[in-house]
Chain A
Amino acid sequence: VSDAPATCVSIATDVRRHRHTAREVVDAALAAAERHQERYRAFIQITPEIARRQAEEVDVRLARGDDLPLAGVPFAVKDLFDVAGTATTYGSPVFRDRIARSDAEAVRRLTAAGAVLVGKLNLHECAFGFTGENPHFGDCRNPWDPDRIAGGSSSGSAVAVALGIVPLALGSDTGGSIRQPSALCGLVGLKPTYGRVSRVGGLPLSWTMDHVGLMVRTAEDAALVLGVLAGRDPRDESTSERPVPDFRADLQTPIEGLQVGIPRSWFYDALEPPVEAALEAARRSLVDRGARTVEMELPLLEEALGAHRAIIFSEASSWHRPILVERAGEYVEGIRSLLLAGLFLPAGHYLKALRARRIIRRAWAAQMAKVDLLLTPATPVTATRFGQQSVTLAGQDKPLVRAYLDVTLPFNLSGHPAISVPCGFSPEGLPIGMQFVGRPFEEGTILRVAHHYQQATDWHRRTP
């Protein structure tokens, strides 16, 4: 791994100025993907033929004067996004033969902007988990300590970017699946507002809480890529008609005077001491740059947890049911019981959750109106060891699913934009991440604060 992996911005600049060809860049990415595959299992499929064809097309398009904001940027996608002519496995043997006829909309937008696809990335089976352990395609190992989990479910996405194979990976986030692995692997992970990015061509886990997003090293890259991905797609009825701002240009606006809400209760209740210290240092850094922090509370979080459970289990089981009743044995045991459980939840629970979501959104909107963004941990603990089921926090044993996801899943239920940003390392050398949460469709604010923070720190420049 090099000391300073290239970013999307630097690669696109170099390729547009003809310092490198897209073909040269992608050949290096393909070589790195092959080199790391046996140890880290980031990929389910590396796609050299697609990559070289797309790279040559980019070089031709540049030669004829096309404006390509992501010229020659190698990227890879969580293997729940369709890529024409390849299997979309969903990390499961159940879908091994599901060959896509066309590209997912997010993939189409990236390649139209000049990015080059190098492969399909490993994930927690069916995106229904947070460790990245996968008995079918191999466990994704954390580049900072291969005996520890990479997080998930977008595990391969995090590993591929952390290893410097690609500067950009697509992920999906239904309870924290972009932000948690980004935090555990030392990356920036952006879950945009629900409705900002099209879900067309991505296999669903929970229609009303799935968010398509990205994993990169810098907030500047996140701003550049979100500008490409965002916008109305008439084939996805949830996507918004709102105009897409120039996120990258907005990064330069000072953060002086911004009000940063600190919701202590729930989010800060039980943190590993190094995480707590890193969050406090980050808070001070923002204050030093002119932001103001405000202690506040988000109400109804226990209710939000219950609503998230009712919705994710009901929607996932509904989608999987036709397969489940015929071939349940093909899912790995842990996933099978999750999907089966959803078949037995009463419809009343699901409908109560949908009704509660409206009240919760309204209550949180009232709180968010008092501040510009929230600052919370992205994960209360750093990467745990494979097989670990619980963690001791504040003197109490907590199941990992609660320890990791309680701080991220509220914003899948509500649809708020949220970003994980590296903010330190534990004494064991494991990355620590913080989370900024913005008001709906105000990704620009959290990207700007993340960018200013990264200008003052170097956590994101460190490599495993």
Chain B
Amino acid sequence: MADKSNMTSDTLARLAAEVVGITLGEQDLKATADLLNSLSADMRALEAMDVGDDEPATTYDPAADGPDEATPGGAP
């Protein structure tokens, strides 16, 4: 990651259209780009962190994932 993120409305508009497939208004583009730059600053220490060979922890038992089992929540 670059030292300082510089997401712009123009870049975000292209990403939204070409990667996500949505069109965002000017106000949403500006607010979201600003937020992404702020998030990037908050994540700088995380990005610099050496995580070695550690894998993500799993919180579930893959053997329990049957086709009919409910999970918490669920799409509305």
- Is chain B a partner of chain A in the same complex? yes
Annotate A152-174 by CB proximity to B: 1 below 8 A, 0 otherwise. 00000000000000000000000
Q: Is the CB of B55 within 8 A of A358?
A: yes
Interface band, chain B: 35 or more
Q: Is the CB of B46 within 8 A of A353?
A: yes
CA distance A195 to B59 in the complex (A): 9
Given contacts A333-B27, A337-B35, A356-B46, contact A204 B55 (CB under 8 A): no
A294 located at the interface, meaning its Cβ lies under 8 Å from any Cβ of chain B in the complex: no
Say whether chain A's binding surface is mostly helix, strand, loop, or mixed. helix
Residues of B within 8 A of A238 (CB): 59-60, 72
- Give the contacts of B21-70 with A (CB-CB under 8 A): 21-22, 24, 27-28, 31-32, 35-36, 39, 42-47, 49, 51-52, 54-57, 59-61, 64, 69-70
Q: Is the CB of B55 within 8 A of A355?
A: yes
Residues of A within 8 A of B15 (CB): 344
Residues of A within 8 A of B35 (CB): 337-338, 341
Nearest residue, chain B, Cβ from A340: B32
CA distance A262 to B61 in the complex (A): 37
Q: Is the CB of B45 within 8 A of A237?
A: no
Given contacts A237-B61, A333-B27, contact A352 B46 (CB under 8 A): yes
Q: How far is the CB of B23 from chain A (nearest CB, A)?
A: 10
Annotate A346-362 by CB proximity to B: 1 below 8 A, 0 otherwise. 00010111111111010
Q: Is the CB of A349 within 8 A of B72?
A: no
Residues of B within 8 A of A432 (CB): none
Q: How far is the CB of B33 from chain A (nearest CB, A)?
A: 9
Residues of A within 8 A of B7 (CB): 344
Residues of A within 8 A of B60 (CB): 237-238
**From A201, A238, A302, A351, residue with most partner B Cβ within 10 Å:** A302
Given contacts A200-B70, A325-B20, contact A357 B57 (CB under 8 A): yes
Nearest residue, chain A, Cβ from B24: A340
CA distance A204 to B64 in the complex (A): 21
A98 located at the interface, meaning its Cβ lies under 8 Å from any Cβ of chain B in the complex: yes
Residues of A within 8 A of B54 (CB): 355, 358-359
Q: Is the CB of B59 within 8 A of A237?
A: yes
Q: How far is the CB of B21 from chain A (nearest CB, A)?
A: 7
Query: Which of A94, A306, A322, A325 has a CB less than 8 Å from the CB of B45?
Result: A306
CA distance A207 to B73 in the complex (A): 9
B2 located at the interface, meaning its Cβ lies under 8 Å from any Cβ of chain A in the complex: no
Q: Is the CB of B31 within 8 A of A235?
A: no
Q: Is the CB of A337 within 8 A of B21?
A: no
Query: Could you give 24 example pairs across A and B, Cβ below 8 Å?
Result: A195-B59, A199-B72, A202-B72, A202-B73, A204-B72, A204-B73, A207-B72, A208-B59, A235-B69, A237-B61, A303-B46, A306-B44, A306-B47, A319-B75, A333-B28, A337-B32, A340-B24, A344-B15, A344-B32, A351-B56, A352-B47, A355-B55, A356-B49, A359-B52
A-binding residues in B (CB < 8 A)? 7, 12, 15-16, 19-22, 24, 27-28, 31-32, 35-36, 39, 42-47, 49, 51-52, 54-57, 59-61, 64, 69-73, 75-76
